[in-house]
Amino acid sequence: MGMMKEFKEFAMKGNVVDLAIGVIIGAAFSKIVSSLVDDVITPLLLKPALDAANLQDLDKLVIMGTVKVGVFLSAILNFIIVAFILFLIVKGINRFKKKEEAAPTVTPEDIILLREIRDALKK
């Protein structure tokens, strides 16, 4: 019974729950970005290449019969968008952390008095 209690305490820690939420949101966000890249951005950017090759579907844009260039370009765009958005998120978090660190700490009055007493005793 002790093992179940330990597991429950571990699973309910803030870090584990936060990680689980992050993974779920990340998966949903990845699907949104994939759809944006596959259904909007990539077709717009590769429209001239698809028209030149007389193709309607990005998956059919291949070189030498087997190299799927369209799918590869779509994956690259997907990565760049996700990496850029994560960069913006981390940059925003770091900015808030700097503001917290920059705030001067107020020394309590009793500590100030104790320091003055200490300094007076040293003299």
Considering the domain boundaries, does residue 17 fall inside one?
no
CA 109 to chain centre: 42
Going by C-beta distance under 8 Å and a sequence separation of 6 or more, which residues neighbour residue 1? none
Look at residue 120 in the predicted model and tell me its pLDDT: 92
CB 81 within 8 A of CB 36: yes
> How are beta strands 62-63 and 67-68 bridged, if at all?
antiparallel
- CA–CA distance from 76 to each of 39, 59, 111 (Å)? 14, 14, 57
Considering the domain boundaries, does residue 49 fall inside one?
yes
Domain range for residue 38? 32-122
Amino acid (one-letter) located at 15:
N
Number of domains in the chain: 1
Considering the domain boundaries, does residue 22 fall inside one?
no
Termini Cα distance of the chain: 63
Look at residue 103 in the predicted model and tell me its pLDDT: 61
This prediction's pTM:
0.51
Considering the domain boundaries, does residue 100 fall inside one?
yes
Percent of the chain exceeding pLDDT 70 equals 85
Going by C-beta distance under 8 Å and a sequence separation of 6 or more, which residues neighbour residue 85? 29, 33
Question: By three-state DSSP, how is residue 57 classified?
Answer: coil
**Positions in the chain short of pLDDT 70:** 1, 14, 46, 49, 53, 56-61, 100-104
Considering the domain boundaries, does residue 96 fall inside one?
yes
Alpha carbon distance 88, 122 (integer Å):
52
